[in-house]
Amino acid sequence: MTGILSSSFFWLYAFGALALVAIGAFAMLVAMNLVRLLIAIEMLIKGVTLFLALAGLASGNRGLAQSAIVTLIVIEVVLMIVANGLVLGLFRQRGTISTQLLNEVKE
Amino acid sequence: MGSANTRPAYRDAHGKIDMDTLLVLALLLASVWTVSTARLLRSVIGLGLTSAVLAAALFRLEAPLAGVFELSVCAALVSVIFVMTVAVTQRLTKDDLSARQRQMLKRSWPIPLLVAVVAVVIFRHRTPANPFFATGISTDVRSMLWNERQLDLVGEMLVLLAGAFATVMLFKEAKK
């Protein structure tokens, strides 16, 4: 494990994963559109996926990392299907997909 | 995969830019383009592109099964779902639609040419040592999923059922 932790290969991908999480978090904060918000969440999940693969490689437990990634992908897909369905439902009711709309949903 | 200390970290043994550096750069460029582009459809295409590059990165990180899942499910299925949502929520008149189609046809003529060039390059560089096709996959993940992580599978099934149930409920509401 110490071998891979000292290689530039590991830190290169760790930087990539961290950047993906940062880009996703930033996009979530500035999103004014529900579809963009979901895309930002996808970016965040992709960063986490990369982190999981990297952790599996570093610890030598690739089977566990891959099974965790497969589970994550299944949950991600179901989340996206349901969230897109909700966006469509909101669009049919209100005629817009702006995030400002979320303030009015509870009323 | 790692680089020696005598050369820059982003160069391989032959002095060329490292494949991993290229992959991470492509991943970052695709993700930045995805979140910064003005049009929603381009953003969705960028998301698919990011997934495809991430799948390649997963192959490099010795997680081929995860790479296949990422490519087939995230790059394909999730992109299709987003394209459908964007198509429904972006109202276009018939004239707008036909004008956009004409514009797209004019712009997309280099695509078949590009595909042909890439295919020729790939097949010219194919060697017995690097056949581009996987020759086998470790049973490690399968045994991990089926023998040691059964609870994950139960959870996945529950999540899938919940998703199907939620989708049915949403369409029921839409019909009403």
Residue B77 pLDDT > 90: no
Q: Which value, to the nearest 10 degrees, does the dihedral of the CA atoms of residues A91, A97, A103, A105 take? A: 10
Higher pLDDT: B29 or B92? It is B29
Pick the closest to residue B148 from A51, A5, A12, A68 (CA basis): A68
**Residues in chain B, total:** 176
CA distance A102 to chain B (A): 17
* Single-letter code of the amino acid located at A100: Q
ipTM confidence score? 0.89
pLDDT at B71 over 50: yes
Helices A62-94, A34-59: inter-axial angle, 10-degree rounding: 180
Segment holding B11, helix H or strand E? none
Q: pLDDT at residue B134 above 50?
A: no
B130: left (phi over 0), alpha (psi -120 to 50) or beta: beta
Contact B49, A46 (CB under 8 A): no
User: Domain coordinates of chain A in residue numbers?
Assistant: 4-106
| CA-based torsion, B20, A10, B67, A82: positive or negative | negative
Is a pLDDT exceeding 60 seen at residue B148?
A: yes
Portion 72-101 of A in contact with B at CB < 8 A: 73-82, 84-89, 91-92, 97
Q: Are B144 and A67 in contact (CB under 8 A)?
A: yes
Q: State both tokens at A89.
A: 């439902």
Q: Inform me whether the C-beta atom of residue B24 falls under 8 Å from chain A C-beta atoms.
A: yes
Name residues of chain A where pLDDT drops below 50.
none
Judge whether B108 and B73 are in contact, CB under 8 Å: no
CA angle A8, A14, A19 (to 5 degrees): 125
C-alpha gyration radius of chain B: 21
Residues 24-53 of A with CB under 8 A from B: 24, 26-27, 33, 35-36, 38-40, 42-43, 46, 49-50, 53
pLDDT at B151 over 60: yes
Strand partners, B11: B17
B88, A26: Cβ pair inside 8 Å? no
Which fold would CATH assign to domain A4-106?
A: Helix Hairpins (1.10.287)
B12 confidence band (pLDDT: 50, 70, 90): low
**B144: chain A residues, CB-CB within 8 Å:** 63-64, 66-67
Q: B137: phi > 0 → left, psi -120 to 50 → alpha, else beta; which?
A: beta
Q: Are A81 and A42 in contact (CB under 8 A)?
A: no
Alpha carbons B51 and B70: distance in angstroms, whole number: 6
The DSSP secondary structure of B53-78, one letter per residue, reads HHHHHHHHTT-HHHHHHIIIIIIIII
Over residues B142-154, mean pLDDT:
74
Contact A35 B82 (CB under 8 A): yes
CB contact under 8 A, B31 and A19: yes
Closest CA to A73 of A54, A46, A92, A101: A46
Q: How far is B120 from chain A (nearest CA, A)?
A: 30
